Every structure is written in C-alpha cells, then in structure tokens.
Structure 1
Amino acid sequence: MRVLVTGATGFVGRHLVPLLLDAGHDVVVFVRDAARYDGPPGADVVEGDIFEPATLDPAMAGVDAAYYLIHSMHAGGDFEARDRLAARNFVDAAESAGVGRIVYLGGLGEDRDRLSAHLRSRREVEHILASGAPALTTLRAAIIVGAGSASFEMVRQLATRLPVMVTPQWVETRCQPIAIADVVAYLAGVLDHPETAGETYEIGGPDVFTYREMLQRVGAQLGHAPRIVPVPVLTPRLSSYWIGLVTDVDTGVARPLIEGLKNPVVVGDDRIRDIVEVEETPFDAAVERALREERGTRENAAEPEPEPTTPT
C-alpha cells in the first residue's frame, strides 16, 4: 500500500514512518525542508507546505492512505484558524487525488465537558477531514508517553524541578496515558483492517491515573516524588504562566495543553482492542523507556567530536 505521512518530522511521525516501512508499505513523507529530513532510508521525500495547496499534489499522487499528524500549537497565535486551514487544504488535495483513506490522530475528551481550545480544535479538524470523499479513521488519545512528547516533557520537568508543588485542581483530573509505541502500533494496524475506515476509536494504555498520581510516579522514577498541594484559586490559565516559569516548555504549547487538563481523558469505548492487537505498555514501563531515551539523547549531544586523524 502506498501511504503518505504528513508531520513525519514530528514526535508521532518519527515513530510511525519506520513502522510502516517495516510492514512493507511504500511510504511517502511530506516535509517542509527535504534537505533536513533525517528519517529512515526507504521513504520517498516530497517537499512542500500544508498552507500551499499546490505543493500537496505531488505528495498525494498514487497514494492509497494518508496520515494527518499536523497541529499548529508550535506556531503560536491563532492556532485554531491555522489548524482549520491546514485540514481543509489536506482533505481537498486527498479528495482530488482519489485517496481512499485518511487516518487522523486526535484527542480524547467528551464534547459535553466544555472542551479546551486545544481539544476543541482537534475535534474541529476531525470534522473537516471527515467532510471529504476519503473515508476517515480517527484515533483519539490522551497524553502520549515518550521522549519528545510535549505533554510528557511538561510532566517530567515538573516532577524533576519541584519538590513541592502548589497546583490547581486539575491535578485530580483522571487521564489514561498511552506509550508512543502503542500509539503507532494502532495507527499502522488500522491499515490492515478495512472495517476501520469511517470509524472513530479511543486508544489508551492499561492504566488510569489522576495527574497527581502521574507526577508522583514519574518523580519516583527520577528519585524524588514531589509533594503536591492543590489550591482552588490557581486557574488553568494562571497555571499555564506558572508552567512557563518552572519549565522550558514553550508557553505557546504549554498554555493550550494546560487548559485542557480540566477535561477527563479516559477511554470510554475500547472496541479497537478487539480489532488491532497491541500488547499494551504499562505506564511505568513507558516512562522508564522515555527517560532512558532522553538520557541517551543528552549523552550523545554531550559527546565531543572525534579528533581528526592524519593519514599515514
């Protein structure tokens, strides 16, 4: 199957592309700068910009299924408007090219819970992608645990830097985190099941925690579980500024993520487990793997360049 991956340089895309190649798919990656793409060999690289519709046409040529893994929080400003435009350009191009399926990774959260701007935008993108001719498969996930995940990085830095935390009431919100390995296993797996076309599924790991419990468990693996003191006066918006003071997570990313923490994000429909077989990763194991990969990345970055040798 010829498969297009947008967002191939992002956190999820970097893990998905090698898995698709290993499964025998013909993979096309759509990136803004082909010269800087350092993904695995074997993928066809097409350069373009999601906001320039004409550049999507070469990427969509001959594609059977297309993954949409783009969101605009890192761009700052009105990310909702940018997400809306990007999704419209994508679905129009896919429809014109005769693409059969789109696969989208959205966010967990019940519409009745007055979703945050971030989750509301993810849901709007979902509706836009479903409006075209290609059949849409949506997978909805909560916090994805892995090295490079913005939401997990925020949790890790809080657990690392604050022995005592004064936090808003969202620390008692329930969440069902999922390991990045499990996310991409589901994303790749739906291609093998035509019955998933046109369907929406919720995916999560085997554990459900409050954010307080997650912070404490991550802290325990770092050797110092923080003491957490929730206070009712620290609103999600104020706490987003607090995040900016105590972590180096970009405020433009942290703010919409923090404002979404008031919404419970727990799987209510686990039908996907009966369709795509995934050996679910326990939260503690996922955290251990993520921390190990982060340490490896830091150590590699700190290694000095080898001294040049003189030929003899």
Structure 2
Amino acid sequence: METRRSVDWFKEAKWGVFCHYLPKPPKDAAAGSTLSAGQWNERVDRFDVEGLASQLDSVGAKYFYLTLGQNTGHYCAPNETYDSIVGIEPSKCSKRDLVNDLADALAVKGIRLLVYLPSGAPDRDPIAMEKLEWENGYIPGTGNRHNRQRTGKRLAEFQRRWEAVIAEWSLRWGNKVNGWWIDGCYFADEMYRFPDAPNFESFAAAMRAGNPDSIVAFNPGVIVPVISHRTEHEDYIGGEVIRSFPVGQQERWLEGRQYHILSFLGSDWGQGEPSLPDEFVIGYTKHVNDSEGVVTWDVPISHDGLIEQPFMEQLKALHAGLSSAAVR
C-alpha cells in the first residue's frame, strides 16, 4: 500500500541538503563541556537564514533539513511544553525560533524545509532524561551494537511527553515545515507497534498536528539494503547509509514508502572535508533518481549557518552534472 500523503514534490525534487546544526563547545573549553544557554542563544541569533537560502538556491536544492537538536538538550526553537516538563533554567531551547525564520527565508526561494529530531530524549542531559522518563532501549555492557540485549520497555509515559513536545512545535510552524526525519527508531516492536497509543500513529500525529501533509520517516538505523518500518504512518524511507551505498533499486516504492537515501559528503555527519569524488556523488544521485528515488546529502555548516565553501563547490558540481544529464 502506498503512503496516504503525497510525496510527489519530494520525488520531483530528486535531491536535497541536510545539516547537523548542533552545539559544540568553544575550542578552548574543557573536554566534555558544552555551550551554556547564553552561548547557544548567541550562536542561534547569528544564524544567517538569508545567506543559507541564497546558497541553497544557487545549487538548485529544492529542500533542506535542519536539526532541531540532538543529544545535548539544546534546541533551536522555543518550546514551553519541553521547558515545563524538564524544568531547566535558563532554558536550553533558544529564544529565537530559527525554524520559523529559516522557513520564511527558504520560501522566498521556493525551497521547502524539513526537520530532524531523535526519537528519544537528549542522552547527554541527565536532567532531561529523568524528567522525560527516557531510557535507552539497550542494556549496557551486553554486546556490540549488532547484538546488544534490549530492555523491552515500551516507555509509554516518555512517549506521551515527547509527543506533546513535538505537537507544540508542529502547531507553532504549521505548513512552514513539510516533513520530519526521526532518528533512532531502533525499538519499533517494543515502543511503537501497538494498536493503542502511544504508537506509530500517535507519534506521527504529533508531527502532523500543524500540517497534516507533513511527510514522516522513522529511521531504523544504518541498514543496507535500506528497509521500511512497514507502518502506514511512514511516508518515505529513512535510508541512512554511511559508505556502503545500495544499488539496484528499480522502483519508486519500497513497501509502499518513497525510496530515499541519506548520507554525508564529509568525513562523518556534519564534519570534515569532502570525501567522495564529484563523479560518484553525481552518478549515485542520478542512479537513485533514475528509479524515481530521492537522495539527501549532509554537509557541514558553520556556526553562522552557512555551508562551508568546499561543499558548496561539490553541490554546484552535483547540480551541474544532473542538469547536463537531463538535457542529453
């Protein structure tokens, strides 16, 4: 069964750009430290949304993913629900609504905004983990990442609280946000695959509270060939791969979900120098596009919100290469 929401615009975009805009401590800070709330606000306030929108427009990108936050508990938009649950003062949610501002700047260029969020609480913030009632689904010390034992916990109260946080954001942004990419959905059977809420349906409903047409992906991890979570509430494949790129997909749909690949152009997510030849980036993107699949490339981004120049050159080469292939 194909997704009930239209992903035609996503398929027609063919490829887009992803960034990990995350707090990193100043170079002279002690190991293990992170930014204060004040430092984080200063950084978010400097984010040049018009500059980034112009960069993306110049390389022909039709959509862009922004991280709301990840493991430290810093988020780039305010959220009263999160603050009321977690109780950290001053709040580690920025005062500036960067998502709103970036969406407005991108809309001028005809570029859609999607957002990234982990499925769990920030695991480097013990206060947030306690207040949200989050636990990692793996039992520590029980093997490597391929064979670790699971706790088997549903974490229903955490899920209800996390859904409330997400719903506030979604209602705030409305149709300015066109989709979500949810990381770390490793425990689908334990947490989401139930007929009653909280489940996949209620989780996706929170993301679509402000925009019922938002497209959603639940990332199961780095799995090649890529897989679907086999739920009607997912619209496209998370598709995370590192340096083993799947080939041979001949159809647009994988178990009813839009085929999609996400990888990075640097040495890792959000960092390093370009590590793939232009010819490969162009050729692989075209290979996936030829079967009506979509490819998203992660690039490093500066504290001021701009894509670093070596990656701009590679994105320009990708745009030129695909444009040239299209007219042959």
Is TM (by shorter chain) over 0.5?
A: no
Greater fraction of residues in helix: 1
> Using CA pairs below 8 Å that are at least 6 residues apart, which structure has the higher relative contact order?
2
TM-score normalized by the length of structure 2:
0.30
TM-score normalized by the length of structure 1:
0.31
